[in-house]
Amino acid sequence: MRLTDASIAIRPRSPWEALDLGVLLACRHRRLLMLSWALLTLPIFALLSLLLWNSPSLAIFLFWWLKPAFERLPLHILSQALFAEPPTLGQALRQWPQLLKVQLLPSLLWRRLSLSRSFSLPVQQLEGLAGVDRQRRLAILHQRSGRAAHWLTLVGMHLEGALWIGLLTLFYLMVPQQVEVEWSWRRLIEAANGQWLWVEHLTNAFYALVLVFWEPIYVACGFTLYLNRRTELEAWDIELVLRNLRQRLAGLAPLLLIMSVGLGLLGVAPHSQAATQPNPFDSPRLVHQAVTSQAARADINQILEQPPFSNKQTLHRWRLDQPQDKAEKPADLGKLLEHPWLKWLGQAMEVVLWGAVVAMITLAVWRHRQWLQTFVNRRRPAAASQPQAPQQLWGLAVSVQSLPDDIADHARQLWASQPREALSLLYRGLLNRLLNDYRLPLHEADTEGQVLEKVAHLDNPALDAFSQVLTRHWQALAYGHRLPSDSVAMQLCNDWSALFAAKGPSA
């Protein structure tokens, strides 16, 4: 995905403002979202109702349970409409079976009752993360937006119920009065006993219609909440500002260079003149006044050299601070403290105290000598081994065993039948080279943008340019499902061969 192609303003928002943005985004594409949801879900609802005609409750329960599978279609439409042209109705419906291949069973089993379902769906569908990587990613994303995602689901549940009851009430109000009078308690009881199954199925149909309106909004709100969290973590707004600033300053670079050179030339003469001029504060001033500047400075220096500003004393012995009130000073206290035998007594006490400290430390070491021998290891610690390169990054295998010998040639062969695997092979090979040849410290939590920043620090223009191009096409395919042209793919393979002359992945 390219941030410059986004159809919304990329900036950090509060979680509640991000939810409002999701409502606006769903309203902008409401026709495509609601029509695609209706064409996908209503036939399935009708099929479940026919197969389970005698069990309307089970039919509506199964339809409700399959909602995570249906929610992948609105997310696919919104992800393409946000950074590119939205797909047509036919293209979106044809793409839905492919979307079900990504972690469908976990979404319908232990993740079905998750309160952050719409917020977590982009992580597995757009980023393709699973297992530990998915858990770590969600832990970071939920730090500031998890509470809003939970409230979105809770409010959505109550809103579904309110809209459902509203449709039932509207249907009841539209019933003619003469028909309403004939509805007795007996007939309502008979309907509850199963004789009027069509009433229950009609009630279920109202719920299916409510989802046509609400579910695209629910998915859109979770998607914008996810985008807002990524904007905060990856500073998308700062990246866009820097790109715009670079474009604006590209044409002004020669003018700025000329102005800087001109200002530099103009600044030489004033600087040299200022260096030759004397300091005006050092020259005599007020020479015709009663008090000249020289006399004032001499008087100030003389005052500062006297107490209380200056109290210089040199002491070679300990003494007590003298009290401020001389009347309270004991007459014989100073003479008593200056007696020689008190000095000898103080030195003797100091020796005794230090000896006691040394004796206590020696006794403690002797008493616990066995404990020290057991738990204190005198051997030098072994040198820390160099950490091994990870075997997987973001769910992509980057180990030596997972890559063929000739990556570029193998990618050319795969492009005709499996273009996604071919581009993935080139990207995995690039990660393998960065990990092993260039010793880049890549981690699971790094994003594609952070990997490119680390590559830029290698000071290798050819590698940096190739990584930029390959990462851009990989993101367009992984997130936007946009394949590059055949010429671009062949050029990527040729650039790979030219950049990495050695055959095979690096160990």
Structural domain harbouring 474: 392-499
Q: How many Å apart are CA 194 and CA 204, to the nearest integer?
A: 15
Among candidate residues 216, 238, 260, the one where a domain is terminated: 238
Domain membership of residue 297 (yes or no) is: no
Domain membership of residue 312 (yes or no) is: no
Domain membership of residue 321 (yes or no) is: no
Domain membership of residue 180 (yes or no) is: yes
Alpha-carbon 113 to chain mean position: 25
The answer to whether 464 and 455 are in contact (CB under 8 A) is yes
Question: Considering its fold, how many domains does the chain have in total?
Answer: 2
Task: Report which of 457, 406, 403 is spatially closest to residue 431, judged by C-alpha positions.
Answer: 403
Domain membership of residue 251 (yes or no) is: no
Question: Which helix (H) or strand (E) covers residue 393, if one does?
Answer: strand 392-393
The answer to whether 231 and 12 are in contact (CB under 8 A) is yes
Domain membership of residue 276 (yes or no) is: no
Among candidate residues 220, 238, 256, the one where a domain is terminated: 238
Alpha-carbon distance values, 228 to 8, 131, 148 (Å):
11, 23, 12
30-51 helix and 72-83 helix, angle to the nearest 10 degrees: 170
Cis omega before residue 340 (within 30°)?
Answer: no
Domain membership of residue 381 (yes or no) is: no
The answer to whether 123 and 207 are in contact (CB under 8 A) is no
User: What's the pTM value of the predicted model, to 2 decimals?
Assistant: 0.48
Domain membership of residue 285 (yes or no) is: no
- Torsion sign across C-alpha atoms 12, 130, 215, 87: positive
Alpha-carbon distance values, 122 to 210, 303, 377 (Å):
24, 77, 51
What's the distance, Cα to Cα, between the start and end of the chain in Å? 32
The answer to whether 22 and 224 are in contact (CB under 8 A) is yes
Q: How many Å apart are CA 387 and CA 21, to the nearest integer?
A: 44
Q: How many Å apart are CA 119 and CA 149, to the nearest integer?
A: 6
Which pLDDT tens digits describe the chain residue by residue (507 residues)? 566 666 677 788 888 999 999 999 999 999 999 999 999 999 999 999 999 988 999 999 999 999 999 999 999 999 888 877 888 999 999 999 999 988 899 889 999 999 999 999 999 888 888 888 888 988 888 888 889 999 999 999 999 999 999 998 888 887 766 555 455 545 555 555 555 788 888 899 999 999 999 999 999 999 999 988 888 887 776 766 666 666 666 666 666 677 777 766 665 444 445 445 555 555 666 566 666 777 778 888 888 888 777 777 776 666 655 554 444 445 555 566 666 777 788 788 888 999 999 999 988 888 877 766 665 555 554 444 555 666 666 667 777 767 777 777 777 777 778 887 877 777 777 777 777 777 777 777 777 777 788 888 877 888 888 888 878 877 787 777 788 887 877 877 877 777 776 444 444
In this predicted model, what pLDDT tens digit does every residue of 469-497 receive, in sequence order? 878 877 787 777 788 887 877 877 877 77
